[in-house]
Amino acid sequence: MKIEWIKKSLPFFVLFLMGCGGNIPKEERLEIYQAPELEAEWIRKGEPLEFEGELWYPVDGVENLLDSEVYLLGEYRGVQFFLEKTDVRPYDRLYTKFGRHRFRYFQKKSQL
C-alpha cells in the first residue's frame, strides 16, 4: 500500500519541487561575473584605476548590486571593472566585484 501511495504522489512532488525554484528571479540565481577569492592588493593599498585618461580611487564602501545591474567596461591590472547600467556620462562611479552581489566603488579625486 505504501508503494502505491509513493507511485501516485511522486509526480506531484516533482512538480512541487520544480515550482519552488521558479519563484527566484533569474537574475538573482545567475552570477555572470566571478567574484575574486581575495580583492587585488593594489585596490587594498588604495591605488587608482585608470579609465579614459582619468584616475579613479577605491572608496571604503561597497554596494550591493546584481550582476544584471552592471555593465562590464574592461579590465585593469587583471581586475574586471564595471559601470552601473543606469549611469550616464559623466560617470559618477566605477566598480570592481568584491563578492557575491558586492561591488567596491571608485570615484575621481575631485568627487572624494
pLDDT reported for residue 44: 96
pLDDT digit string, tens, across residues 66-96: 999 999 999 999 999 999 999 999 999 999 9
Q: Is 78 exposed, middle or buried (0-12, 13-18, 19+ CB in 10 A)?
A: exposed
Averaged pLDDT, 10-22: 55
What pLDDT was estimated at residue 16? 54
CA-based angle 26:71:29, to the nearest 5? 15
Separation of first and last alpha carbons in the chain: 72
pLDDT tens column, 24-82: 555 555 789 999 989 999 999 999 999 999 999 999 989 999 999 999 999 999 999 99
C-alpha cell at 78: 587583471
pTM: 0.73
Residue 19 has pLDDT above 80, yes or no: no
